[in-house]
Amino acid sequence: MGTSDVCNVAIIGAGITGMSAAWDLARAGCHVTIYEAADHVGGLASGFREPHWDWSVEKFYHHWFQSDAHMLRLIDELGLRQHVLFPRPYTVLLHHGKWYPFDSILHALAFPGLGFGWNKARFGLVGLFLRLTNNWRALEKHTVEAWMRRWAGRAVYESMWQPLVVGKFGPYASEVNMAWLWARLKARTTRLGTYAGGFQQFCDHFAEKLRAIGVRIELATPVEAIRPGPGGVTVSPAAHPPATFDRCLVTTSPGLLARLVPDLPPAYLNGLQSLKHMGAVVMVLSLKQRLSEQGYYWFNIPKSAGYPFLALVEHTNFVSPEHFGGEHIVYCGDYLPPEHEYFALSQEELLQRFLPAIQRFNPRFKADWINKTWLFRTAYAQPVPLVEHSRNIPAIRTPLRGLYFASMSQVYPWDRGTNFAVEIGRRAARQMLGDAAHSHFAP
């Protein structure tokens, strides 16, 4: 027997997680309505497009890895695999004022910051161990700093791993657990992928597939409150009458879930509000000329180098500038605490902070190379996994009957990204369908 007679579902958020859950729920016979506050689908993977561009540009730089099995399997199910591309970009790391290739094991071993002899051997052995082990629960009992200092040594940790963790987690760097770094090394590949037309094109194609199987997607419809009731879960969208559903899946940040559902038990609310996270600030620039004359794509920048951002990414050294009317697209991005001043500065003020640093990538660069800039900020971009973080992960099934939660805060030990957004969304759908079947057949 199908579940359509007992499965009327609301999903809050039309990002990759929400749409992935909707795909499985609708195909199982559920009636699905997605509420999205923005006027477009995609969430943090969404993009924007100028009228003369063929492709969109992601607001927060995105790519796929060849190992992203959850995403690639979904794309196959959607019949969209022909649009997936895997170019060969080049990533570099700064050391003593020079940029060195850093996109393969051989390049990493050749990185001069490692020094010679025993340091290189320890780096290689530690990397091999982390790729082979699956025992991440043992690793989460230790911080990256403590574990790496012990097994890789001070020099390897301070030259290779400390800049990564400090750049990503700022004030929390010394508290991040080792399972997070294990997951990055375990799951990622050096070859990077994208979607023809950009990630917004993928999200739009995904939405078309969902609508074709009956999913309602209500854009520009923020939800103001979610409340439990005897008839199910009542969702109250702004400027719309409340609607009651058998089940509701929220795919927002933990903080927004806490605000939307004040009836959650205090212990669960406290757990949501205690989770730490970093925000992201990204400035996108359209340039008249290529910035990196060497054709580098991703510049990893240690915080100690004095740059006002963590990474510079020349997107058009990954995909052709022909897709953007011959313009060259560059990102300047950083992970920052939500209270950082970058969240308050104007776009022009931030650009003036960035311009001298951009010139360090190419001495010929001048401000008149810039066609246009865009600024994107989000307070919730990177969960912070502390020691034994698995104890703090919110359950998908909340304590309120019929209410479920799936977000990047629950993909741990894996790192946030669209691949694991697919996985958590589909896992939530399986749980919801299982609960629906159990309640239907229960005596």
Instruction: Identify the residue with better confidence: 141 or 61.
Output: 141
* pLDDT tens-digit series, residues 35-84: 999 999 999 999 999 999 999 999 998 899 999 999 999 999 999 999 99
Residue 436 pLDDT: 77
- Grade residue 442 by pLDDT with cuts at 50, 70 and 90: very low
* pLDDT tens-digit series, residues 76-128: 999 999 999 998 888 888 887 888 877 766 667 777 777 777 788 888 899 88
Residue 100 pLDDT: 82
Residue 439 pLDDT: 66
Where is 199: in which H helix or E strand? helix 199-212
Instruction: Identify the residue with better confidence: 36 or 306.
Output: 36
* pLDDT tens-digit series, residues 196-210: 999 999 999 999 999
Give the Cα separation of 385 and 347 in Å (integer): 31
Residue 122 pLDDT: 86
Tokens representing 115?
């020094």
Give the Cα separation of 232 and 244 in Å (integer): 6
CA atoms within 13 A of residue 33's CA, in its CB half-sphere: 17
Instruction: Identify the residue with better confidence: 306 or 113.
Output: 306
Residues 49, 57: contact at Cβ < 8 Å? yes
Mean pLDDT of the chain: 92
Of 215, 101, 119, 205, residue with least CA distance to 159: 119
Does 437 score more than 80 pLDDT? no
Residue 25 pLDDT: 98
Lowest mean pLDDT among 182-196, 288-302, 340-354, 369-383: 182-196
Specify the domain boundaries for CATH 3.50.50.60 within the chain: 8-39+219-275+392-441
Instruction: Identify the residue with better confidence: 190 or 324.
Output: 324
The highest-confidence range among 1-10, 146-155, 188-197, by mean pLDDT, is 146-155
Tokens representing 401?
């009957």
Residue 101 pLDDT: 79
- Grade residue 1 by pLDDT with cuts at 50, 70 and 90: very low
Task: Say if pTM beats, i.e. exceeds, 0.85.
Answer: yes
* pLDDT tens-digit series, residues 356-386: 999 999 999 999 999 999 999 999 999 999 9
Give the Cα separation of 423 and 280 in Å (integer): 23
Q: Is 218 helix (H, G, I), strand (E, B) or coil?
A: strand
**8-39+219-275+392-441: which CATH topology?**
FAD/NAD(P)-binding domain (3.50.50)
Does 8 score more than 70 pLDDT? yes
Q: What is the DSSP letter of 163?
A: H
Q: Where are the alpha helices (DSSP H) in 327-385?
A: 347-359
CA atoms within 13 A of residue 379's CA, in its CB half-sphere: 11
Tokens representing 224?
């103001």
Q: What percent of the chain has pLDDT over 90?
A: 77
Neighbours of 265 (CB within 10 A): 11
Give the Cα separation of 72 and 348 in Å (integer): 39
Tokens representing 160?
């290779």
Where is 406: in which H helix or E strand? none
- Grade residue 144 by pLDDT with cuts at 50, 70 and 90: very high
- Grade residue 4 by pLDDT with cuts at 50, 70 and 90: very low
Residue 98 pLDDT: 86
Backbone angles phi, psi at 196, to 5 degrees: -60, 120
Give the Cα separation of 228 and 244 in Å (integer): 9
Residue positions counted in the chain: 443
Give the Cα separation of 349 and 203 in Å (integer): 32
Residue 104 pLDDT: 65
